Amino acid sequence: MPIQRTFFGQPVTLRMPPRRFQLLFAVAALITASLVLLGPPSSTDLPTYDYLREAVKNPHLPTVDDLPNVPRPFGPATHKPPVQPNSTAASSYRAIEWLGDFKWRNPFSSALTLDENRAVLPPLKERPPIYTFYDVKGKQDKALSAAENRLILAWRRAWWAQGFKPQVLSSAEAMEHPQFRIVQQLKLDAKTESEMLKWLAWSHVKGGVLANWLALPMARSDNPMLAFLRRNEYPTLSRIEGLQNGVFFGDATAVDAAIKEAVHNHLLKNTTANADKIAELGKKEGGVMVNLLGSANIAVDKKANGIAYYSTETIVKLYKSVADKLGNTTQAEGLDTLANLINSHVHLTFQENYPEGVTVVKPLPEHTTALMYEAIDIARNLTQCPASPLPKSCPPNRQKCKPCDSAKTKKLQLLPSFKTSSSTYTIGTVPHPYTLNSLHYTRDTLDANFLVRNAEHDLWINAATKDFLGDKHGPESRLMHFKELVAAEQSPANTLWLTAERVTQADLDWVFGFALPQHASENTAAYGKSELTVFPRPPLPPPIPGVEVPEERWIKNEEERLKKAREALRSKERRMREVVDAVEKWSLADTEAWKFARAFSARRRVERKKWEVEEETFAGSERKAGVGGGGGRWTDKFRI
């Protein structure tokens, strides 16, 4: 009597499979049995695929000794490491979970987490705070406040992208300072008082870096000044040469001592009599505080070129048309123009930092065109000339820059494999192995039979690291290199890794520190009535040499398959889950790469969103600047 057998829910006809498959099924059955008994093992417990492949090639009946490390039901119990706070994010596919640990350079995260889903990332780097002071006396025009908030948002974004934690102080912090009453009783003019309050607020938060909100970082992330500020140790109270009172840094004791000394300056004994002299001090290099102290008390850092400060004098001197607009009736409009100018300069700095342009990695290029849409979209906008009110202008700290020329925009190229270079910015898209196998083998659906018969293991990581590592490395070593590319010290500044299943990319502004161009013109032209010059969009990158460009209809098929793969991964259906699981087991290294890249960007978003929520009520938050919909739908925005 024939027995109806099933495999992954499908009935199969009973015919003895070839001998090598008998062995494979025996191994699979053992694994399934141990899965049922013991729950999912970590990847180190599973037979390696080389083992499986060898076993398939050289069939011999397995003995228990042949099976590497299948979990022993009676072995000693293990504790999972405690879950760190804020280490998960919801996702349509599966919760994204991570653990920050110094041992992240392990090929397989599960070796450390004992949890198949949790990726081990490098510990989150502590961001040193950078403060700015923004205070509005009395009532102010709504449009003006909104424009100022947008500028402060740009300030926050630029410093965040450089690894800092930007915070906006106001007179509320100054009031907490013990010297506040004394300063108030001095009856100073508005400008001097505001400068004093700024220092009181700074002292209240225990020193650090204090910057004007028109002082933004515009340099490579390894610029010595920025690297120094990031260290969060400021041995002497200092300002930066040429930046007036734009940036100060120092520790709490030094800041406090300086305030005490300034308040006791003899000129402040009678501020009415000395009003002119005090105003005079305010005009001298470094501003009023520096000059009340006598210059010996504040060191001057001479070699700093990483920060651009748009002081009133600088705007008048270098950006005349913007200065004209900042006159009284058109002030809000002028501030928006300034915001556009600053954004264009941060973007220009990015483009100059990568003289070789932007590279999009497209491994296995024959059937992955649809997978690249997002990456290419971002890459084109990155290489587009930024919209600007003064397209020929340079940032204040680099007057010798090369303004962007739309006739020769930076190179935008596709490469089938990753190449390291600090003069190019690289964007990669990491697909789930289900997605990749479905595209690469042009299959609408996958199943275990298909994989076993036709699919290679770890297609993606082998292809993506081919030029870079050659053919000799195994998947473990490739994974380790890949993780370095994503997450090692300097990598996030040079590379961006997307996951293929995400349809939208948020937070790019905070990754780059500027807003990407959202408009393009046919040819260079003013856009709307804003007097911005908008540039054409760079063309699509040329195809990879030697790879046939698929016809439109095949690309349409790819889009369909990509959609189906996204659905498959999202599916809660048991059979589908089993197939996805089998695909993951078939390509352990690709799965690990996907989990790692996905967790890395999820953590970046969670860190940022959490910060945004904490800062929500302060000037320059997205909510105050009318961007991003505010914090009310915060939990929605957590979905990755």
Of 378, 511, 569, 602, the residue at the interface with ligand NAG (CB under 6 A) is 378
Of 301, 366, 377, 456, the residue at the interface with ligand NAG (CB under 6 A) is 377
* Residue 167 contacts residue 205 (beta carbons within 8 Å): yes
Query: Within positions 295 to 324, which residues make up the interface with ligand NAG, using CB under 6 A?
Result: none
Write the CA distances from 577 to 299, 324, 487, integer angstroms.
Answer: 63, 63, 29
Choices 196-204, 337-345, 373-381, 422-430 (CB under 6 A): range interacting with ligand NAG: 373-381
Count of residues in the chain: 640
Task: Look up residue 551 and give its two tokens.
Answer: 């016809």
For residue 328, the minimal CB distance to ligand NAG (Å) is: 4
Close Cβ partners of 621 (under 8 Å, ≥ 6 residues apart): 149, 153, 612, 615
Assign 427 to helix, strand or coil.
strand
Binding-site residue total for ligand NAG (CB under 6 A)? Answer: 19
- Torsion on CA atoms 233, 239, 243, 247, rounded to nearest 10: 50
Query: Within positions 498 to 517, which residues make up the interface with ligand NAG, using CB under 6 A?
Result: 505, 508, 516-517
For residue 271, the minimal CB distance to ligand NAG (Å) is: 8
Of 272, 472, 551, 572, the residue at the interface with ligand NAG (CB under 6 A) is 272
Please, is 301 exposed, middle or buried when counting C-beta atoms within 10 Å of its C-beta (0-12, 13-18, 19+)?
A: middle
Query: Within positions 34 to 93, which residues make up the interface with ligand NAG, using CB under 6 A?
Result: 85-86
For residue 502, the minimal CB distance to ligand NAG (Å) is: 12
Query: Within positions 517 to 546, which residues make up the interface with ligand NAG, using CB under 6 A?
Result: 517-520, 537
Choices 146-154, 259-267, 297-305, 374-382 (CB under 6 A): range interacting with ligand NAG: 374-382
Residue located via tokens 């009599």: 273
For residue 35, the minimal CB distance to ligand NAG (Å) is: 30
Of 73, 76, 327, 528, the residue at the interface with ligand NAG (CB under 6 A) is 327
Round to whole Å and give the CA distance between 116 and 173.
46
Q: Describe the crossing of helices 552-570 and 433-440 by its angle, rounded to 10 degrees.
A: 150
Choices 123-131, 245-253, 267-275, 486-494 (CB under 6 A): range interacting with ligand NAG: 267-275
Q: Is 270 in the site for ligand NAG (CB under 6 A)?
A: yes
Assign 227 to helix, strand or coil.
helix
Give the residue with the Cβ less far from ligand NAG, 85 or 546.
85
Q: What are phi and psi for residue 3, nearest 5 degrees?
A: -100, 135
For residue 537, the minimal CB distance to ligand NAG (Å) is: 5
Q: Is 381 in the site for ligand NAG (CB under 6 A)?
A: yes
Q: Could you give the string, one character per residue 187-216, with x where binding to ligand NAG holds by CB under 6 A and - elsewhere?
A: ------------------------------
For residue 88, the minimal CB distance to ligand NAG (Å) is: 7
Round to whole Å and give the CA distance between 545 and 258.
64
Question: Taking the CA of residue 279 as centre, how many other CA atoms within 13 Å lie in the half-sphere pointing to its CB?
Answer: 7
Close Cβ partners of 319 (under 8 Å, ≥ 6 residues apart): 310, 338, 341, 390, 393
* Residue 514 contacts residue 158 (beta carbons within 8 Å): yes
Of 63, 78, 185, 328, the residue at the interface with ligand NAG (CB under 6 A) is 328
Close Cβ partners of 156 (under 8 Å, ≥ 6 residues apart): 166, 168, 615, 620
For residue 78, the minimal CB distance to ligand NAG (Å) is: 25
For residue 609, the minimal CB distance to ligand NAG (Å) is: 8
Helix or strand run (H / E) with residue 359 = strand 358-361
For residue 509, the minimal CB distance to ligand NAG (Å) is: 9
* Residue 467 contacts residue 420 (beta carbons within 8 Å): no
Query: Within positions 436 to 465, which residues make up the interface with ligand NAG, using CB under 6 A?
Result: none
For residue 145, the minimal CB distance to ligand NAG (Å) is: 19
Q: Is 182 in the site for ligand NAG (CB under 6 A)?
A: no
Instruction: Give the count of beta carbons closer than 10 Å to the beta carbon of residue 100.
Output: 14
* Positions that interact with ligand NAG (CB under 6 A): 85-86, 270, 272-273, 327-329, 377-378, 381, 505, 508, 516-520, 537
